[in-house]
Structure 1
Amino acid sequence: MPYDLSLDPQRLTEELDYRTGRLVYSGEGGNDVRRSVLPGGVRVVTERMPSQRSVALGFWVGVGSRDEEPGMLGSTHFLEHLLFKGTANRTALDIAEAFDAVGGESNALTAKEHTCYYARVLSEDVPMAVSVIADMVTSAVLEPAELEQERGVILEEIAMDLDDPTDVAFEEFTAQIMGRHPLGRPIGGTPAEITAVERDAVWEHYRRHYTPDRLVISAAGGLEHHELVELVLEALERAGWDLTEGVTPRPRRVRRPSPLAPEFGEHRVDRTFEQANVILGTTGLIAGHERRFAMSVLNAALGGGMSSRLFQEIRERRGLAYNTFSFAGSYSDAGYFGMYAGCTPEKVALVTDLMRAELDRMAAEEMLPTELAKVTGQLGGSTVMGSEDVGSRMSRLGRSELDTGHFTDLDELLASLRAVTAAEVRELAAELASRETVLTVVGA
């Protein structure tokens, strides 16, 4: 069964030996997952993989673009850039050279509900990686001159995305399906927002959200849990962070659907492109929903690969598009489901009709046992192969701790996928097919 990683005050006694960590899972080959809650509410979750000589390390902060307030829009992604520009102790060049000197990698990502600063290094270089990333997260200075220079970089990044018609289509679709919900805003902000946001607003966003009780550190590879905990404690104490005993982590986001007001109907963006980018979709499931495994099977069968229904019908049988697929996204209180195709403008109507027809067919008829077996085999294989590197395992640990508080081992995950029935998939497809839709067309 999935192990509950959640923490409440009544269970603090289980976390007293935070250096050793509570054993969450023990698997074959000596792999084990451990969890500690440090003073200040900092959480450390690791997966020891004795056969690996490298370690993937992530510092996760429970703040995303949806959490920005008026006057601070774009600040979350702005910080992702600025934390690499230097601290009170290191210059931007110092940070870059630290990882280059050991053949390591470092980067960051901003999402709608979290931010992560991560690295992959050899096991012997973990102390350096912890020291550098902890310094970035705790001691950024946000020099005005660096901020202004990075403002231009971010505006160029946004301009690059706006030149990609597929990116434009997905941003437009998300905005329309989410309506005025904060999840509908672009993660990187708009050019107007990035131009307008002031240094003081970005600084306030940083000081408010980059706190011990929001920080999750996950790591996977050739490591020892207690050694990583010691390194983290030393780095955070050196930074002067408030590591008060008995402080509990910040509560996770409540998983409850929010009322949405999607802009249903057809929306066209007139841009000069040779190809039209078409997305047809509707509202979906929130993260952690009990039917999430049925959604995975439905999505894989409908548009998850070269043998999927959309690919076979739209590309292979009719030659109407080079690329077509289905997709699903979920957050703590909202989700979406959709189908995409890129085609010439005169084929938009036909391709849209075919996408609707394939979803309707899944809603009307149960999958045959052979197709269900093929799809669950596809999902199982990709899940296992995708988890065989330290980076994916680190990411899974961090997301599990930050988002849901449940760690599910691979055997349990595979069993859940294989337990999905054809009736459950048909029922979900029928529900999705019955909902109003958003049709986004860019470049037609």
Structure 2
Amino acid sequence: MTSRSTKATARTSSEARAVARTQTLIKGENGIGTVRRTTLPSGLRIVTETLPSVRSATFGIWAHVGSRDETPTLNGATHYLEHLLFKGTHKRSALDISAAIDAVGGEMNAFTAKEYTCYYARVLDTDLPLAIDVVCDMLTGSLIEEADVDAERGVILEEIAMTEDDPGDCVHDLFAHTMLGDTPLGRPVLGTVDTINALSRGQISRFYKKHYDPTHLVVAAAGNVDHNKVVRQVRAAFDKAGALGDATALPVGPRTGSKSLRAAGRVDVLGRKTEQAHVILGMPGLARTDDRRWAMGVLNTALGGGMSSRLFQEVREKRGLAYSVYSYTSAFADCGLFGVYAGCRPNQVHDVLQICRDELDLAAREGLSDDEITRAIGQLSGSTVLGLEDTGALMNRIGKSELCWGEQMSVSDMLERIAAVTPDEVREVAREILGQRPSLSVIGPLKDKQTARLHEAVA
């Protein structure tokens, strides 16, 4: 038998959980740059960053679902669903949704990635209540009607065709497959012609119901916003749609796990009748939670992050072998990629690859000079600040941080962390990452003899 005191304790505990919890995560100066989070009993999180000096606001909703959550038969469903949420709700038609934001001069869009999806609107601060109502309505009240599924199928197939017509874009999908294989992370976000043609309204609707409950969502707003007002308006919009429910729940935490990449030394070539050959030479990188990511960012910047970088100087400036050449990192919850991209004439592929391989090997053996590291730290610091100069970028930062890390870091703390990177840390990361045997992805009109020689670049 349960005692009266035990029942009272359980009831008190339940009531405590049912109260919205608000925290100040970053305390700005005079309220400027203050980041706050409110977690509703349903598990819905609302984060805001206040900038009273601007006249705009960006409102977004992040869903904890991406293409890596798809089975092979559902490949492309996340992106398909992104399109369909713009097609109409019980409250608004597709035209009503777009017209509402257009009428106030706002911008509205969405994007799907491998580990998350985001829907957002940027408007004048006075029109923020409208943006909240429209975007929340889309996320909670989508009809996903059969006619819209059929109509949007053609749009997505055209988007796939457009991507395939751009080999500079398509080669990144090929590289992901080279490194990650036929896995959720290795498959294209858009899906394939076959999977898109096979997806049904029922499959997409079930995917929507499974992944778009409050525990999987993060609401983010940045600009001239009042946190408490945003919370009230979001809560009212979700409650009106019956999307909060009566139950208490905990938010879904950041992704965890351990992902093993494919064996090194792989070469994938996709023959296309293009004017250029598009190549990516790369290897496993770091997960986004790895403490060494700051040193990796400095290394990446010094190698291929700007006009003074090693790769740009060696490939383009000194030899004129490519117009576009750069390095980049892709970080996921449990793994990462580092790649060097170059677009060049097909008969110069081997020269370009040899130079890139030589530079990576040199950096792995000898590291970077102190001057290169100092310059890269300055460049990375400046680009970090300049990239956060509008409310859209701020909304992206706090929304993604909440979803992917479960915490917030101020810009000042980010700059301090970048500035604290030491030459030894950069050289250690260079040895570990660049010292691995690379893999290679190529799209272009290569002849059989050229293709056979590509294995030399990863030997």
- Structure 2-normalised TM-score? 0.91
> Which of 105, 125, 128 is equivalent to 1:126?
128
Give 1:126 shift.
1.1
1:354 aligned partner, one-letter code = I
| CA shift digits 1:146-205 (9 cap, x unpaired) | 111100000000000000011121111111101233100100101111011111101110
Residues 42 and 216 of structure 1 are in contact (CA less than 8 Å); yes or no, is this contact kept in structure 2?
yes
1:260 aligned partner, one-letter code = L
Residues 109 and 121 of structure 2 are in contact (CA less than 8 Å); yes or no, is this contact kept in structure 1?
yes
Counterpart of 2:5 in structure 1 is: none
Give 1:69 shift.
2.4
Which SS does the other structure have where 1:406 is aligned? coil
Give 1:52 shift.
1.3
Which SS does the other structure have where 1:268 is aligned? strand
Identity of aligned pairs, percent?
48
Q: Structure 2: which 5+ residue stretches go unaligned?
A: 1-12, 447-459
Give 1:322 shift.
0.8
Give 1:436 shift.
2.3
Residues 263 and 196 of structure 1: is their aligned pair in 2 closer, same or farther, counting only changes over 3 Å?
Answer: farther
Counterpart of 1:4 in structure 2 is: none
Which SS does the other structure have where 1:407 is aligned? coil
Counterpart of 1:100 in structure 2 is: 102
Structure 1, 367-376 or 48-57: larger mean CA deviation: 367-376
Give 1:367 shift.
2.5
| CA shift digits 1:284-342 (9 cap, x unpaired) | 11111010001100100000000000000010011111110001101011211011111
Provide the C-alpha distance between the structure 2 equivalents of 1:209 and 1:154, rounded to a whole number of angstroms: 21
Counterpart of 2:290 in structure 1 is: 289
Residues 76 and 17 of structure 1: is their aligned pair in 2 closer, same or farther, counting only changes over 3 Å?
Answer: closer
> Which of 219, 222, 236 is equivalent to 1:220?
222
Provide the C-alpha distance between the structure 2 equivalents of 1:363 and 1:297, rounded to a whole number of angstroms: 14
Structural RMSD (CA): 1.7
Residues 61 and 215 of structure 1 are in contact (CA less than 8 Å); yes or no, is this contact kept in structure 2?
yes
Counterpart of 2:178 in structure 1 is: 176
Counterpart of 2:338 in structure 1 is: 337
Which SS does the other structure have where 2:74 is aligned? coil
Provide the C-alpha distance between the structure 2 equivalents of 1:56 and 1:162, rounded to a whole number of angstroms: 32
Counterpart of 1:208 in structure 2 is: 210
Counterpart of 1:75 in structure 2 is: 77
Which SS does the other structure have where 2:328 is aligned? strand
How many residues matched? 432
Counterpart of 2:455 in structure 1 is: none
Residues 315 and 355 of structure 2 are in contact (CA less than 8 Å); yes or no, is this contact kept in structure 1?
yes
State how 1:376-395 maps to structure 2 within 5 Å: 376-395=377-396
2:418 aligned partner, one-letter code = L
Which SS does the other structure have where 1:280 is aligned? strand
Give 1:429 shift.
1.3
Residues 56 and 118 of structure 1 are in contact (CA less than 8 Å); yes or no, is this contact kept in structure 2?
yes
Give 1:35 shift.
0.4
Residue 322 of structure 2 corresponds to residue 313 of structure 1: no
| CA shift digits 1:397-441 (9 cap, x unpaired) | 001110011211111111111111112112211112332221111
Give 1:58 shift.
0.6
Provide the C-alpha distance between the structure 2 equivalents of 1:17 and 1:132, rounded to a whole number of angstroms: 23
Counterpart of 1:7 in structure 2 is: none
Residues 71 and 184 of structure 2 are in contact (CA less than 8 Å); yes or no, is this contact kept in structure 1?
no
Provide the C-alpha distance between the structure 2 equivalents of 1:322 and 1:410, rounded to a whole number of angstroms: 33
Provide the C-alpha distance between the structure 1 equivalents of 2:372 and 2:63, rounded to a whole number of angstroms: 40
Residues 176 and 263 of structure 1 are in contact (CA less than 8 Å); yes or no, is this contact kept in structure 2?
no
Provide the C-alpha distance between the structure 1 equivalents of 2:317 and 2:346, rounded to a whole number of angstroms: 19
Provide the C-alpha distance between the structure 2 equivalents of 1:315 and 1:70, rounded to a whole number of angstroms: 40
1:69 aligned partner, one-letter code = T
Residues 411 and 218 of structure 1: is their aligned pair in 2 closer, same or farther, counting only changes over 3 Å?
Answer: same
Counterpart of 1:155 in structure 2 is: 157
Counterpart of 2:428 in structure 1 is: 427
Provide the C-alpha distance between the structure 2 equivalents of 1:60 and 1:433, rounded to a whole number of angstroms: 34
Provide the C-alpha distance between the structure 2 equivalents of 1:57 and 1:176, rounded to a whole number of angstroms: 36
Give 1:263 shift.
6.6
Q: Structure 1: which 5+ residue stretches go unaligned?
A: 1-9
Give 1:17 shift.
5.1
State how 1:44-59 maps to structure 2 within 5 Å: 44-59=46-61
Residues 57 and 128 of structure 2 are in contact (CA less than 8 Å); yes or no, is this contact kept in structure 1?
yes
Give 1:71 shift.
3.2
Give 1:245 shift.
5.5
Give 1:242 shift.
3.3
Provide the C-alpha distance between the structure 1 equivalents of 2:142 and 2:70, rounded to a whole number of angstroms: 19
Which SS does the other structure have where 2:330 is aligned? strand
Residues 176 and 162 of structure 1: is their aligned pair in 2 closer, same or farther, counting only changes over 3 Å?
Answer: same
Provide the C-alpha distance between the structure 1 equivalents of 2:247 and 2:156, rounded to a whole number of angstroms: 39
Residues 285 and 433 of structure 2 are in contact (CA less than 8 Å); yes or no, is this contact kept in structure 1?
yes
Provide the C-alpha distance between the structure 2 equivalents of 1:15 and 1:126, rounded to a whole number of angstroms: 27
Residues 220 and 399 of structure 2 are in contact (CA less than 8 Å); yes or no, is this contact kept in structure 1?
yes
Residues 258 and 334 of structure 2 are in contact (CA less than 8 Å); yes or no, is this contact kept in structure 1?
yes
Structure 1, 151-160 or 180-189: larger mean CA deviation: 180-189
Which SS does the other structure have where 1:87 is aligned? coil
1:428 aligned partner, one-letter code = V
Counterpart of 1:268 in structure 2 is: 269
Provide the C-alpha distance between the structure 2 equivalents of 1:242 and 1:267, rounded to a whole number of angstroms: 47
Provide the C-alpha distance between the structure 1 equivalents of 2:109 and 2:155, rounded to a whole number of angstroms: 16
2:202 aligned partner, one-letter code = D
Counterpart of 1:413 in structure 2 is: 414
Residues 82 and 147 of structure 1 are in contact (CA less than 8 Å); yes or no, is this contact kept in structure 2?
yes
Provide the C-alpha distance between the structure 2 equivalents of 1:195 and 1:262, rounded to a whole number of angstroms: 32
Provide the C-alpha distance between the structure 1 equivalents of 2:150 and 2:107, rounded to a whole number of angstroms: 26
State how 1:5-44 maps to structure 2 within 5 Å: 16=19, 18=21, 21-31=22-32, 32-44=34-46
2:128 aligned partner, one-letter code = V
- Structure 1-normalised TM-score? 0.94
Give 1:364 shift.
2.1
1:291 aligned partner, one-letter code = R
Residues 225 and 281 of structure 1: is their aligned pair in 2 closer, same or farther, counting only changes over 3 Å?
Answer: same
Residues 262 and 203 of structure 1: is their aligned pair in 2 closer, same or farther, counting only changes over 3 Å?
Answer: farther
Structure 1, 203-212 or 355-364: larger mean CA deviation: 355-364
Counterpart of 2:91 in structure 1 is: 89
1:134 aligned partner, one-letter code = C
Give 1:28 shift.
2.7
Residues 148 and 180 of structure 1: is their aligned pair in 2 closer, same or farther, counting only changes over 3 Å?
Answer: same
1:249 aligned partner, one-letter code = P
Which SS does the other structure have where 1:107 is aligned? strand
Counterpart of 1:3 in structure 2 is: none
Residues 160 and 192 of structure 2 are in contact (CA less than 8 Å); yes or no, is this contact kept in structure 1?
yes
Provide the C-alpha distance between the structure 2 equivalents of 1:78 and 1:332, rounded to a whole number of angstroms: 23
Residue 242 of structure 2 corresponds to residue 240 of structure 1: yes
Residues 364 and 435 of structure 2 are in contact (CA less than 8 Å); yes or no, is this contact kept in structure 1?
no
